[in-house]
Amino acid sequence: MAADLKSAVRPQAKPGAPIMSVRDLRILFPTRDGRDTVKAVDGVDFDVRAGETLGIIGESGSGKTTLGRAMVSLIAPTEGEILHSGQNPAKMGREQFRKHRRDYQIVFQDPNAALNPRMTILDSVIEPAEIAKEGDDTSRRKDGFAALSRVGLPRELADRYPHQLSGGQKQRVNIARVLMLRPKVIVCDEVVAALDVSIRGDILNLFADLQREFGLTYVFITHDISVVSHISDRIAVTYLGKLMELGAAEDVIERPLHPYTQALLSAEPIPLPSSMRTERRIVLEGEIPSPVAPPSGCRFRTRCPSVQAICAKDVPSWRELKPGHWAACHFSTLDGPPPANADLNHTK
Ligand SMILES: Nc1ncnc2c1ncn2[C@@H]1O[C@H](COP(=O)(O)OP(=O)(O)O)[C@@H](O)[C@H]1O
Ligand code: SF4
Ligand SMILES: [Mg+2]
């Protein structure tokens, strides 16, 4: 059965070529009282390469979900653009967009978000193909059973309803739903965050297997560093609507260049690589500021252990400090983030 799904896979972009290009993206929302603006995404530039898993990490409120939804055309950019294999979906005609959007899918954190409680599991899985006007009843049922089997769900579950399934089973149903559309890219927004810790690994392994089988590209959004480090080829670090760092996963985790990444890694209660076990743990203090009025200059300055006077004045530029490894800090070098001020005082 799974062979049917596989043979239906459409050609993917050349591995490594940009399959999505985010250009000077800003997404602003009015505040609830309408008097102000939430700068959810505030000037972001990066590519997603075909066949890779790009992890996006950052604390809650840093704009990850807004960015992910914009990447699959669920939210329109306020400024800038998001290209899909060089094409701008916002400029497509209705029919072209309808065909195009199935290539770029999203799976949400809440396993119930996309499931209709009154529809059987099989009907939920088939629904996207029906909306895309693909095949007929018989072929859709056949593909629906194949998709259920591919995500590891037994045939008996097909006639059940969402409330009869566990969270992990429901998330498998959501994955089967997007597989029905044979997408090129799947944005995964905190897809294991709502699940029991004991089954997170199984779902992550399923994503990894499907990527190999179908040549998928993933954008894996999470606030959990152990999840991104497990699954990503590259990692982007977001803070208050901006990117702080982007590079190969191993470099970002083991040799971060930005003080925010370093602080995030220190705050994680997971075993860290030996290079990260510093004597003095840098722990994030305080809350993330409001995206309605982000700090001037460098947004991280109100919590940065290395802050200097210039950080309140000038926005740090997005610099490629090593090939493919970018950071936005006035003082980062290719050797790493600047020393914490306390360390500087100590050595005086
Ligand atoms: N539709 C909306 N209207 C107003 N504010 C929003 C809307 N969606 C998100 N926000 C705000 O934008 C900021 C970023 O949110 P979000 O993208 O959900 O971040 P994350 O996923 O990193 O937690 C938050 O302050 C959030 O309250
Ligand atoms: S620019 Fe300044 S405040 Fe921002 S991360 Fe670098 S040292 Fe810290
Ligand atoms: Mg989110």
The encoded tokens of residue 348 equal 């005086």
Name the residue range of residue 289's domain: 236-347
How high is the pLDDT of residue 16?
77
Are 103 and 245 found together in one domain?
Answer: no
CA of 18 to the centre of ligand 3 (A): 24
How high is the pLDDT of residue 282?
61
How high is the pLDDT of residue 223?
86
**What strand order describes the sheet that includes 319-322?**
104-107, 185-189, 217-222, 53-57, 234-239, 242-248, 325-327, 319-322
Ligand 2 residue neighbourhood (C-beta within 6 Å)? 259, 298, 300-301, 304, 306-308, 311, 316, 329-331, 338
Asked if 242 contacts 44 with a C-beta cutoff of 8 angstroms, the reply is yes
CA of 274 to the centre of ligand 2 (A): 25
How high is the pLDDT of residue 105?
97
Are 294 and 323 found together in one domain?
Answer: yes
pLDDT in tens, 4-43: 554 444 445 677 789 999 999 999 999 999 999 999 999 9
How high is the pLDDT of residue 286?
81
CA of 260 to the centre of ligand 2 (A): 8
Parallel, antiparallel, or unpaired: how do β-strands 53-57 and 217-222 relate? parallel
Instruction: Kindly identify the ligand whose nearest atom is closest to the C-alpha of 297.
Output: 2
Are 46 and 166 found together in one domain?
Answer: yes
Report how far apart, in Å, the C-alpha atoms of 336 and of each of 45, 294, 320, 325 are. Answer: 22, 25, 13, 11
Which residues in the chain belong to E strands, given as ranges? Answer: 18-30, 37-49, 53-57, 79-84, 104-107, 185-189, 217-222, 234-239, 242-248, 319-322, 325-327
Among residues 232, 252, 287, the one where a domain terminates is 232
Q: What DSSP string describes 230-262?
A: HH-SEEEEEETTEEEEEEEHHHHHHS--SHHHH
Instruction: Kindly identify the ligand whose nearest atom is closest to the C-alpha of 60.
Output: 1
Are 250 and 213 found together in one domain?
Answer: no
Among residues 232, 257, 287, the one where a domain terminates is 232
Q: Which of 310, 329, 332 to mutate to test the pocket of ligand 2 (most atoms within 8 A of CB)?
A: 329
Q: Which of 239, 240, 310, 311 to mutate to test the pocket of ligand 2 (most atoms within 8 A of CB)?
A: 311
Are 262 and 220 found together in one domain?
Answer: no
Are 184 and 313 found together in one domain?
Answer: no
Are 187 and 300 found together in one domain?
Answer: no
Among residues 185, 211, 232, the one where a domain terminates is 232
Coil, strand or helix: which one is 31? coil
Are 171 and 223 found together in one domain?
Answer: yes
Parallel, antiparallel, or unpaired: how do β-strands 242-248 and 325-327 relate? antiparallel
Are 262 and 169 found together in one domain?
Answer: no
Separation of CA 80 from chain center: 19
**Residue 192 CB-density burial (10 A; 0-12 exposed, 13-18 middle, 19+ buried):** buried
CA of 58 to the centre of ligand 1 (A): 13
- The protein residue whose alpha carbon is closest to atom 2 in ligand 1 is 29
> Is 38 close to ligand 1, i.e. is its CB under 6 Å away?
yes
How high is the pLDDT of residue 287?
85
How high is the pLDDT of residue 224?
86
Are 194 and 314 found together in one domain?
Answer: no
Q: Which residues in the chain show pLDDT less than 50? A: 1-3, 6-11, 272, 277-280, 346-348
Helices 167-179 and 137-150 sit at what angle, rounded to 10 degrees?
130
Number of domains making up the chain? 2
Instruction: Kindly identify the ligand whose nearest atom is closest to the C-alpha of 70.
Output: 1
CA of 237 to the centre of ligand 1 (A): 17
How high is the pLDDT of residue 8?
45
Are 223 and 301 found together in one domain?
Answer: no
Which CATH number belongs to the domain containing residue 72 in this structure? Answer: 3.40.50.300
CA of 28 to the centre of ligand 1 (A): 9
CA of 338 to the centre of ligand 2 (A): 8
Angle at 118 between CA 117 and CA 124, to 5 degrees: 75
Q: Which atom of ligand 1 is nearest to the CA of 69?
A: 17
Give 167's contacts (C-beta < 8 A, 6+ positions apart). 111, 194, 195, 196
Separation of CA 72 from chain center: 11
Are 164 and 27 found together in one domain?
Answer: yes
Instruction: Kindly identify the ligand whose nearest atom is closest to the C-alpha of 63.
Output: 1
How high is the pLDDT of residue 275?
52
